[in-house]
Amino acid sequence: MASIKALVHTMRFEADGVLSIEFRPANADSRFPPFSPGAHIDLHLPNGLVRSYSLCNSSTDRGRYVVGVLNDRNSRGGSRYVHQQLRVGQVIDISAPRNHFALHEDAERSVLVSGGIGVTPIFSMLQRLVALGRPVELVYCARNRQEAAFIDPIETLSDKTKITWHFDDHEGRPPALIELLADRGADSHYYCCGPAPMLDAFEKACGQLGYPHAHIERFAPAMLTPPPMANGFEVLCRKSGKSVEVPPGKSVLDALIDAGLSPDHSCKEGVCGACETPVLGVDGELDHRDGILAPAEREAGKTMMICVSRCTGRVLELDI
C-alpha cells in the first residue's frame, strides 16, 4: 500500500502527557483520502518505527488528519519520539486510513465509552453522531481531569448529548461499567476504547447486561496463552501460485516476505489490520492472536492477521 507524504502542521498540548498532531498534505494541491469515525493511520516515524494512531477529528474534514498521542510511560520508542523529536514543519510518510472500529450510524442509540487516550476514536464518533442528530451519549473515564484530553471541545457538545464524566481520583475507584451502562437497552450499540483492563471489563459488563452490540478497539493484542509455535505448516498462496513453508517460531508474514512476497503490513502486533488476509482453506483450525477480529469473525474463519495468527494443522490456503 502506497504511503502518503504528510506535513506536521500543528502540535498542541491537549492534557498532561497528551499531544495532538495535525497533519496536512505535504503537496498543497493534493487531498487526503476520506476516512470514517473509528479509523486509524500509521505514522512512519523518522527513527524507523511505525506506529498506529486513531484519527480524532471530524470525518468531514478532507484537508487534515488529527491524532492524539500519549507520552506512554512504557513507550518502546514511538510515542517518546513523537513528544521529544517530531516538530512542526517536518514531512513524514503516513498510511491511508483503515477502520476496524466502524461506527453504525443508523443505530437506535449509541453509547460511547472512553478510557484515557482511548478518547481519540471516540471523539471522532461523537462529532459524527452529533452532526447527524443521532441519539448518542458519552461516558468519559480517566485517572484525573488533568490527564483527560479534548475536554473543552467535548464540553461544547454537552447541550446536544449526555456526557458522564468519571475521574478515578474524584470517585475513589475505577469506573463500575455495569452501573454506568445499565438501562441503556439491548438495541443500542456500545463502543469502547481504552487500556486492556477496561476493555475486558467493558466486554464482561456488556455480556452480563445482555448487550449484543459491543464494539472495542485495542491498542495491543489481548493477553493470550503462549502460541503453539512448535508446529510448522505449509501456506498455499492462491494468487501468486507459491507454496511457502512456515517453520516453527516464524510468523506467516515473515515466511511470506522471506519467500519474496510483499504482503501489506505495519505493526506486526495484530492491532493495525494492515496484514489482514482472506483465508480460502485450512487444515485444522485458525489460531487467532490479533486484537481486531470480533468473536463471530474468528468463528467464521474467513480472514486472519498473518503477522500474529497461525493454524494448528499442516496446510493453510490464503488469497495472496
Chain mean position to CA 259: 29
Chain mean position to CA 141: 18
Residues of the chain with CATH 2.40.30.10: 4-94
Whether the predicted pLDDT of 228 surpasses 70: no
Residue 270: left (phi > 0), alpha (psi -120 to 50), or beta?
Answer: left
What's the grid cell of residue 295? 468473536
pLDDT bracket for residue 185 (50, 70, 90) = very high
Whether the predicted pLDDT of 225 surpasses 60: no
Q: Average pLDDT, stretch 83-93?
A: 97
| pLDDT tens-digit map of 19-76 | 999 999 999 889 999 999 999 999 999 999 889 999 999 999 989 999 999 998 877 7
Q: Average pLDDT, stretch 154-182?
A: 96
Per the CB < 8 A criterion, the answer to whether 20 and 149 are in contact is yes
Point out the least confidently predicted range of 129-138, 193-202, 215-224, 297-306: 215-224
Instruction: Mark out the alpha helices in the chain (DSSP H runs).
Output: 78-84, 119-132, 151-155, 168-171, 177-181, 196-209, 252-258, 295-300
Q: Which amino acid is located at 26 in the chain?
A: A
**CATH classification for the domain delimited by 4-94, as one of 2.60.120.10, 3.30.428.10, 3.40.50.10190, 2.40.30.10:** 2.40.30.10
What local confidence, expressed as pLDDT, does residue 277 receive?
95
Residues of the chain with CATH 3.40.50.80: 110-217
Q: Average pLDDT, stretch 102-121?
A: 97
Task: List the CATH code of the domain at 233-318.
Answer: 3.10.20.30
What local confidence, expressed as pLDDT, does residue 66 receive?
98
Q: Among candidates 202, 209, 154, 208, which has minimal Cα distance to 186?
A: 209
Q: Average pLDDT, stretch 240-248?
A: 93
Per the CB < 8 A criterion, the answer to whether 190 and 177 are in contact is no
Per the prediction, the chain carries an average pLDDT of 92
Q: What is the DSSP string of 112-155?
A: EEEEGGGHHHHHHHHHHHHHHT--EEEEEEES-GGG-TTHHHHH
pLDDT bracket for residue 92 (50, 70, 90) = very high
163 strand-pairing partners: 138
pTM metric for this prediction: 0.86
Q: Which amino acid is located at 61 in the chain?
A: D
Angstrom distance (rounded) from CA 196 to CA 224: 12
Whether the predicted pLDDT of 222 surpasses 70: no
- b/e map 151-180, b = 16+ CB within 10 Å: beebeebeeebebebbbeeeeeeebebeeb
Whether the predicted pLDDT of 235 surpasses 60: yes
What local confidence, expressed as pLDDT, does residue 255 receive?
94
Q: Among candidates 307, 304, 308, which has minimal Cα distance to 319?
A: 304
φ/ψ (deg, to 5) at 131: -65, -35
Angstrom distance (rounded) from CA 244 to CA 235: 5
Q: Among candidates 236, 319, 313, which has minimal Cα distance to 280?
A: 319
- Give, in order, the Cα–Cα distances in Å from 246 to each of 266, 269, 318: 20, 18, 13
Which helix (H) or strand (E) covers residue 235, if one does? Answer: strand 233-237
What local confidence, expressed as pLDDT, does residue 28 receive?
86
| pLDDT tens-digit map of 120-162 | 999 999 999 999 999 999 999 999 999 999 999 999 999 999 9
Q: Average pLDDT, stretch 209-217?
A: 95
What local confidence, expressed as pLDDT, does residue 273 receive?
85
Whether the predicted pLDDT of 223 surpasses 60: no
Whether the predicted pLDDT of 227 surpasses 70: no
Residues of the chain with CATH 3.10.20.30: 233-318
Whether the predicted pLDDT of 220 surpasses 70: no
> Per CATH, the architecture of 110-217 is what?
3-Layer(aba) Sandwich (3.40)
Q: Average pLDDT, stretch 195-220?
A: 93
